[in-house]
Structure 1
Amino acid sequence: MLRRLIATRTALRRSWAARNRHLAARARHDMRTWQVERRQRTQHLIELGGLVVKAGIVDLTGDDRAMIYGAALWMADKLRSDQGEQARALWAAKGRQAFGNE
């Protein structure tokens, strides 16, 4: 009786594991519009975060998120100002140069 119970429990665990693998695989390949958009947004945010790390901002600020957010707000204010076009051109050129050096 104990062996049957253990065998049943083991089979149940395998069944649950197989079910979980199936659900995970199905979720990875789900093509509903909202999920595709969510994946694209997530990928976009990951890439933007990568730029913050790549620029060395995380190390320079000691991962102080308030400081990083403040700097981003300052950039946005600068781009909205009358000097926005000048800042945009300067920063774009600097970024293209840095990408070219890699």
Structure 2
Amino acid sequence: MILFIRIDATTLPALIFGAALVVLAALLGLFVWRARRTLEQDGDVDARTKLHANRQMRRRLQISIMLAVIGIVIAVGDQMDQLFVQRPHLFFV
């Protein structure tokens, strides 16, 4: 199956914005991961602080993943507009 991507004046903004969201999510995830790794290397941290940091990292990574998914959905959804015009029931689903 060939992935057909239409790049014209109407779809380019969605592709750029979706790609920007994915890049932003990747950068945020990388920064969170590096900050957490720095805390793990610090030896004098108690268990309560580590538990809080683990939960905080999980929440922040969830937000990063959600931003990436939204960016992908924006780009893919804009590419599928002609399919939705031809098959409105697919848009409903």
Answer whether TM exceeds 0.5 for this pair: no
Larger radius of gyration: 1
What range describes the TM-score normalised by the shorter chain of this pair? 0.3 to 0.5
Which structure is richer in relative contact order (CA contacts within 8 A, separation 6 or more)? 2
Structure 1 length-normalised TM? 0.33
TM-score (norm 2): 0.36
Higher helix content, 1 or 2: 1
